[in-house]
Amino acid sequence: MMVALDLIREIPVLYPDDLVTKARKYLREDSFREMFIRDRNGRLVGYIDISDVILVNDTKSNLEIQTFLRDAPFVYSEDSVENALAQIKNAQTDSVAVCSHSGELLGAVQLSALFPVIMSRQNPTGLVSEYMIEPVVTCNRDDPLHAVYSVITESGYDALPVEEGNCILGMISRTDLIMHGHIRRSIEAKHKTPVEYVMVTPAIITFRNDSIGDAARAMIQHDVSRLPVIESDGKIVGIVSRQDILNALELPGVVHAQKYEEYETS
């Protein structure tokens, strides 16, 4: 049976007294939306979220990471995939820290890695309309990349539909913007590169009366985190994400919370 350790990823070593600009650099360049922070003994002390640190505009800011620390979801290395997903669902994060029983931070597991495993074990029932989120945050084809990147990072969404009129043209994700340095070059050159040059087409979509299980499998097949929900005329009426689909799965209750408090206070 696959456990958290089987899907673990190494993460940068960051301490509470490191400057927040250091964490921001990693968050801008990697697929993680959050970075887990350790103390000088290597033990988990919390996490920092990109939606917080991206607002620190000064490249020479002396703010420390501990200013933005949040309580972190975590599992032990031998915990199940279901347990890891329960922690992510409860914390509304895109990843979960993996720790030893002594509290040492070993790495992290992302929702994107856990999702295909859980879907191979469960077949959630219900319709997309029961789990989708509305209204939908969208962008336009001529919106500049840096503006869309700001919306993505500040909203907490991984991707936005690109809309024209009532029709969807494509999708733009944080990964698309980071890949090949698109966003970095756009900012450095101080020009307004439009989204249409980077967006992915066609968009992978679903309909409100599709089964949530089929929507989940479409995400896995196309390696996307969110699906726009459209009407037959092409109008976007909602969006469904991996996080939303967690609500359709059978997951255990939240565990380890008390143990984490012991790490923080010991």
Structure tokens that stand for 116 in this block: 């295909």
Find the CATH number of the domain harbouring 19: 3.10.580.10
Residues of the chain with pLDDT under 70: 55, 57-60, 179-191, 254-266
Nearest to 251 by CA among 34, 73, 9: 73
Q: Are residues 23 and 96 in the same domain?
A: yes
Q: Are residues 27 and 108 in the same domain?
A: yes
Give the model's pLDDT for residue 262. Answer: 47
pLDDT tens-digit profile of 132-143?
999 889 999 999
Please tell me whether the peptide bond between 135 and the residue prior to it is cis, using omega within 30 degrees of 0. Answer: yes
Give the model's pLDDT for residue 191. Answer: 61
* The total number of structural domains that make up the chain: 2
Q: Are residues 174 and 237 in the same domain?
A: yes
Q: Are residues 149 and 91 in the same domain?
A: no
193 lies in which domain range? Answer: 128-246
Q: Are residues 64 and 79 in the same domain?
A: yes
pLDDT tens-digit profile of 110-125?
999 999 999 999 999 9
Alpha helices in the chain (DSSP H): 20-29, 50-53, 81-91, 111-121, 128-131, 145-155, 174-178, 182-189, 212-222, 242-246, 257-265
Give the model's pLDDT for residue 266. Answer: 43
Q: Are residues 254 and 238 in the same domain?
A: no
Global pTM reads 0.86
Q: Are residues 65 and 141 in the same domain?
A: no
Q: Are residues 178 and 256 in the same domain?
A: no
Residue 202 burial by CB count (10 A; 0-12/13-18/19+): exposed, middle or buried?
A: exposed
Q: Are residues 196 and 140 in the same domain?
A: yes
Q: Are residues 195 and 99 in the same domain?
A: no
Give the model's pLDDT for residue 83. Answer: 96
